[in-house]
Amino acid sequence: MLLRLPTSLHYPITVTSLLKQAGDKVERDEAIFWYIYQTTVEEGDGLGNKVQVKRKFPTRFESSVDGEILEWKISKGDVIEGPLDVVEIDEPCAHEVQFGGLCAECGKDMTEATYNTEVMDSMRAPIQMTHDNTTLTVSEKEATRVEEDAKRRLLASRRLSLVVDLDQTIIHATVDPTVGEWKEDKNNANYGALRDVRQFQLIDDGPGMRGCWYYIKLRPGLEEFLEKVAELYELHIYTMGTRAYAQNIADIIDPTRKLFGDRILSRDESGSLTAKNLQRLFPVDTKMVVIIDDRGDVWRWSPNLIKVSPYDFFVGIGDINSSFLPKKQDIGATNKLIKAAKEKESKDHHPNGTVAKPESETEVSALQQLVTMGGGDNPRLLHEQTNEQEETILHQVEDRPLLQKQKELDAEDEASPESSESPSVEESQESNKHRHHLLEDHDRELFQLQDRLEKVHLQFFDEYDRRRSHAIGGRVAALRGEKTLSKDKDVDLKLVPDIKDIMPMFKRGVLGGVVLVFSGVLPLGTDTQNADISLWAKSFGVAIASKINGRTTHLVAGRNRTAKVREATRYPNVKIVSTQWLLDCLVSWQHLDEDPYLLHIHDDDRAEPLSPNSRELVESSWISSSDEATGASLWTDEEGNGNDPEIFNSAGLTETSHIGYDEDEQAAVHDELKDFLGSDDESESDNEVLGDETNTSGKKRKRGEDVDSETGEDSAEDDDDENDQKGSRLSQRIKRSYERSTGLREVATASSSEMGETRPEHVRPSGPHEDEPDAENVGTSHDNDEGFPENPDDDDDEFEREMLAAFEDDFDDNAEGDDMADE
């Protein structure tokens, strides 16, 4: 270890003698060299006066570590001006693994501090990396080593790591004792569904919850899923439940511990009660880790995450361990319930099949209640939340929401007017059957999930193999060198692709090009861009817009009679689909056919569709089909050779446009451009005396700037206001425009240097007469600009930019004047 001088010394210092030679042993706090420093002190001069005197003081420097001196970096007589490395000391133990404040290798106390301690020894091993123990910490080096070993091993067996959440992902748990009763009662309607519900009792689970029974329903197909997936992935459990809870679940889902081993991390060891952190398990890198969880927010939408739809078997219970988590923005589950209810409705051959409907409503409201109750309003008030969770559990134990619901259901069944005396037996049986549905079990998520995991696995190793075959060709020698070092001969860690690149890439293709507008899905006032469902959708390449326009491809509507639905009916290319479509797409990683999900549109709402030859339609379809071409051609236009007939076409078309994001934006942009040109015209009239060259170059220069500012505007607007542009397209455009602008600058400089040749070309458009049509071309194409009142901010910006432009114009003029003089 290199020993570095602390900043606290009184620099400059002069080394007077070294007390130890290379090879000598030093102990902690042992002096290793003498030095002198100079400082001013106040002294009495013997006459009662105080004088400031400069004095030199000799001092010893003490080592802060044990070990053997390898090499001195300083020598006698050196004057040291600031902190630097003085000596290299070989430590017998680097304290890389520490256990409860002790070095696990030498047994020394790591927490003791002396006056000489700069950095606590315990800080040398700051990383917790074992699942079930928080007292063991390791240094970064050790963590890397362990992780690399693990990665080699995984690569050799061609597996990845998979972090699995428990609650609502692979199981659903409740403490409602009703479940136990129903389970015992063979005649109960829900008996069939509850047959495979497991239970366990947690004894010491905090006060008030003594001996509480937990009922665990495994997600259908779980056993097979885990077995299959375990061949491709090394499984880890990461749950927000307590340790005891996690252990018990693990006993149920993996009694032999073949799948999970002891790789279980619970909230007791997580370190945070509100968020899950992949670094807790994989401190060095997460290249080979995939997460499955039903909540994206707790992982901060990590790119490693595969979000699954929550498993909601015990209707209305939610996640019993979610009290600590921030409140869930639960859209999926609610809608799912409604859908399930609808399914029931359609499946039911029951005479009074309408019963299902009120049921679904009670379900939903109860769910919301529970979610609110269990959600926790302030994640910081930990204590309160602990109470809250206890309360939630107690509530469940006492109130028995399931029983309540069943009762409601029964009451409704009885109250139904059709139930006469004679079919009542049959009726009750049927309602029994119907009640059976309260706890229904047709979840297919795991099968789809297995597919997805297999896909990801395949992609990852395809990429890995590809890289490896590449590498072997070029770097055989290097590989050989490494081979002798690495334990596993076939593995080269540098070639491991990153799952964080592979999975998002894979996902983004799924719904790429889809521009969504939500309607009646998110509560008013929610940030449409950052709601859970939006974030989730965005990870699949979806762009989310707030308004319907020509680029919109889908309207996701929660209800079928909203203003937006009405508006969307005017666009034949906008598909109006239910939320379920989006959810199913996100869950199955496929762009599903919209037809089964199309919303039934009330006839009154059907606005007059745009006729095929109406200008709006032509324009909107034109936009969506070739808008990249527009972008490109428009930019070309601004480059100064705007004679492309297509541009005029487009200009003519866009002239009449009322809607369309592109038009808006480009209109604004061109408005600005027009302003600039106008101001330019004015300045031109002022400058005309100076000669054509000046004007030309000034103008040229300005154009370059216009494009610049537009680019800025462009991207800003895209990000802030509209955002309905597809990310890749946007970036392409920005990139393109940057290229253009830089190109322009070159042109501008070139034009100024090759004044003579360029003059005739440039003179023409810059002259007051020729300039007008040019400006019009651009300007008139967006005559409707006036229809879009501009932001005051924009005005300010514009003004500022104008000033700047004018300033630079002047500057350029002068420069040009000089140039002219030279000529």
Partner 1 sequence: MFFLKEETKVISLHPSFFGPNMREYLITRLNEEEEGRCTGDHFVICVMDMVDIGEGRVIPSSGNAEYTIKYRAIIWKPFRGETVDAIVTSVKPTGIFTLAGPLSVFIARKNIPGDIKWEPNTVPPQYTDHADQVIEKGTSLRLKILGVKPDVAAINAIGTIKEDYLG
Residues 721-780 that bind partner 1 (CB under 8 A): none
Interaction of residue 149 with partner 1, rule CB under 8 A: yes
C-beta of residue 197 within 8 angstroms of C-beta of residue 181: no
CA 786 vs CA 547, 658, 667, 672, 794: distances in Å? 20, 11, 9, 12, 14
Interaction of residue 244 with partner 1, rule CB under 8 A: no
Pairing assessment for the beta strands 305-307 and 289-293 based on DSSP bridges: parallel
19 vs 102, which CB is nearer to partner 1? 102
Residues 198-227 that bind partner 1 (CB under 8 A): none
CB of 454 to partner 1, least distance (A): 22
Cis peptide before 417 (omega within 30 of 0): no
Q: Hey, what's the torsion of the CAs at 103, 109, 112, 118, to 10 degrees?
A: -30
Non-local CB neighbours of 520 within 8 Å, separated by 6+ positions: 557, 558, 559, 562, 564
Interaction of residue 8 with partner 1, rule CB under 8 A: no
Interaction of residue 105 with partner 1, rule CB under 8 A: yes
CB of 54 to partner 1, least distance (A): 48
Asked about 719 being catalytic, the answer comes back as: no
CB of 124 to partner 1, least distance (A): 14
Count CB neighbours of 491 within 10 A: 20
Among 158, 257, 300, 466, binds partner 1 (CB under 8 A): 257
49 vs 256, which CB is nearer to partner 1? 256
Per 3-state DSSP, the chain is made up of helix, strand and coil in percentages (nearest 5) of: 50, 15, 35
138 vs 659, which CB is nearer to partner 1? 138
Among 16, 59, 130, 679, binds partner 1 (CB under 8 A): 130
- What is the C-alpha to C-alpha distance for residues 434 and 580, in angstroms, rounded to an integer? 24
130 vs 546, which CB is nearer to partner 1? 130
The site string for partner 1 over 258-297 (x = CB under 8 A, - otherwise) reads: x--xx-----------------------------------
- What is the C-alpha to C-alpha distance for residues 249 and 56, in angstroms, rounded to an integer? 70
Interaction of residue 255 with partner 1, rule CB under 8 A: no
Among 4, 28, 141, 153, binds partner 1 (CB under 8 A): 153
CB of 428 to partner 1, least distance (A): 51
Interaction of residue 146 with partner 1, rule CB under 8 A: yes
- What is the C-alpha to C-alpha distance for residues 505 and 324, in angstroms, rounded to an integer? 32
CB of 111 to partner 1, least distance (A): 8
Secondary structure string (H, E, C) spanning 368-405: HHHHHHHHCCCCCCHHHHHHHHHHHHHHHHHHCHHHHH
- What is the C-alpha to C-alpha distance for residues 580 and 578, in angstroms, rounded to an integer? 5
100 vs 760, which CB is nearer to partner 1? 100
CA 806 vs CA 234, 687, 770: distances in Å? 65, 12, 22
Non-local CB neighbours of 300 within 8 Å, separated by 6+ positions: 275
Interaction of residue 99 with partner 1, rule CB under 8 A: yes
CB of 130 to partner 1, least distance (A): 5
Nearest to 222 by CA among 447, 456, 454, 453: 447
- What is the C-alpha to C-alpha distance for residues 404 and 410, in angstroms, rounded to an integer? 10
Helix count (H) and strand count (E) of the chain?
A: 26, 24
Among 53, 84, 106, 629, binds partner 1 (CB under 8 A): 106
CB of 153 to partner 1, least distance (A): 6
Nearest to 303 by CA among 294, 290, 313: 290
Stretch that binds partner 1, among 146-154, 324-332, 452-460, 516-524 (CB under 8 A): 146-154
Asked about 24 being catalytic, the answer comes back as: no
Stretch that binds partner 1, among 53-61, 149-157, 511-519, 632-640 (CB under 8 A): 149-157
Of the residues 167, 297, 532, 714, which is catalytic?
167
Interaction of residue 103 with partner 1, rule CB under 8 A: yes
DSSP secondary structure letter of residue 598? B
Q: Which residue has the tokens 């409704």?
A: 412
Among 13, 32, 97, 355, binds partner 1 (CB under 8 A): 97
CB of 403 to partner 1, least distance (A): 39
19 vs 284, which CB is nearer to partner 1? 284
Interaction of residue 256 with partner 1, rule CB under 8 A: yes
- Give the interface with partner 1 as residue ranges (CB under 8 A): 97, 99-109, 111, 129-130, 132-133, 135-136, 138, 142, 146, 149-150, 153, 157, 256-258, 261-262
Q: Which residues are catalytic?
A: 165, 167
